Structures are given as structure tokens and as C-alpha cells.
Amino acid sequence: MSQVLPATISPALFAERADAIADAARELAAAGWTPATSSNFSMRLDAEHAAITISGRDKGKLGRNDIMLIDMHGKAVGTDARPSAETDLHTQIYRRYPEMNVVLHTHSRTQSVASRLFAKEDVIRLEGWELQKAIAGQTTHDAEMVIPVFPNTQHMPELVAQVDAWLDSGKPLHAYLINGHGIYTWGRDMAETRRHLEALEFLLGCELDLRRLSA
Ligand SMILES: CSC[C@@H](O)[C@@H](O)C(=O)COP(=O)(O)O
Ligand SMILES: [Zn+2]
């Protein structure tokens, strides 16, 4: 499946972003966070376009040809390939946060179990962990960081509406879990987004351990 680029996007830029996505995906897959073709990854290219993983590919074996171009409404651009089934959750972040350039979604065991356990409470409240400072803008362990857990659905507009409702209420949002599904987080560049994802994986694991030990 070939990718034709609009004249405004240089092949070098697309290749660089596609390689960055594939590299990150390979590393996250090696950590066991993308089982059975799950997870999806994207990077903004300009105000109107993003590069995103093609749906259904093994995320541990991605190359440049597994990444495609979309517009900010989630439509394929210059290819017949099918973008991630969860593309709308990526474009929503790019539309709502013009300063964000990377979105990562994974399905680790820790993320999956935490999403089920904390779904009853609708949110996970993180407080007192030094690693909260790995999230951009967080300056102390001594503040509460709230990660919502949204109900899962196969109907993407419902998920988008849940995230929109949270954002419209004015509450901060650094990441969210989807119940029984996984995590979404984002950042200004790949390094920041990877840091967010790693910190959240660690913090969710700590919260699970605390629940287990205090049961
Ligand atoms: C293989 S089950 C996981 C999928 O349903 C989905 O949640 C996912 O993360 C990957 O979907 P994809 O369409 O490949 O981006
Ligand atoms: Zn998913």
C-alpha cells in the first residue's frame, strides 16, 4: 500500500515521524505493553495532518510502511490503508491541544487491571508519589493528580464524547484509562510522551500493589 503525500508535507518529515513511531512501538511491544496487535501510536505532522499506525498491524514489527497519513478528522490521506480503529481519540487530542504532537495508546497488563479495578470509582487519584513529577507541569509529589477511567465502548463517538465532557468541565487531563482496555497519554514530543507513559505505568503498578497489600 503506497502513501502519496500532499505537496506541503516533505517525504523526509513523514519518514522521520514514521520511523519514530515504529521505533517507539517496537520498544513498547518488547516491554509487553502491546499484546496481540493492540495499541496505536501517532505523531502530528502539521496543523492539518498526523502520521498514525495502520489498523491491525503487529506493533512489535512496524516499519515505515505500517504508518499512514490522516487529516485531523481521522480520514486517510493519499492511501487506501485503514487507520487505527481508535484514530478519533488521537485527532481529538491534536484538535483540543494544539501544543501536543504525540499520542500513545497501550494495553499493558498493569493498565488493563488498574482500569478494571478503579472503574468503580471512575478515577484513579495519584498523590504522594515523587514520580508524578514526570508528568509535564507537575512540580510536587504533594498534589493530587486525577486520571479518569472511562467506560469502554466499540462506538468511537461515545468515547470521544466522554473525553470532551471531561475537558469541557475544565478539569486537567494528562491521560485517561478506558475500562478493560488500556491507557491514552500524550505530550509535546516523543520523549515527553514516553516519559508520561512510563511514569503512569509505574504509578498504576504502585497503586495496584498498595490495594493488594492493604486488602
Ligand atoms: C486487537 S484488540 C485491540 C484493538 O481493538 C484496539 O483497542 C487497539 O488498540 C488496536 O487497534 P488498531 O485498529 O490496530 O489501532
Ligand atoms: Zn486499544
Going by CA atoms, what residue is nearest to atom 3 of ligand 1? 38
Tell whether 107 is in a known binding site. yes
User: Among candidates 116, 104, 75, which has minimal Cα distance to 184?
Assistant: 104
Q: Ligand 1: does its nearest atom lie under 6 Å from the Cβ of 66?
A: no
Residues 6+ apart with CB under 8 A from 164: 92, 96
Cβ(82) – ligand 1 distance below 6 Å: no
pLDDT tens readout for residues 43-77 = 999 999 999 999 999 999 999 999 999 999 999 99
Model ipTM over 0.95: yes
- d(C-alpha 75, C-alpha 79), whole Å: 10
Residue to probe by mutation, ligand 1, list 21, 28, 40, most atoms within 8 Å of CB: 40
Looking at residue 215, its pLDDT comes to 85
Ligand 2 centroid from CA 191, angstroms:
21
The residue to which cell 496543523 is assigned? 47
CATH homologous superfamily for the domain 11-213: Class II aldolase/adducin N-terminal domain (3.40.225.10)
Q: What is the pLDDT of residue 11?
A: 97
Q: Whose CA is nearest to atom 4 of ligand 1?
A: 38
Compute the distance between CA of residue 207 and CA of residue 210 in angstroms, rounded to an integer: 5
pLDDT tens digits, one per residue of 116-163: 999 999 999 999 999 999 999 999 999 999 999 999 999 999 999 999
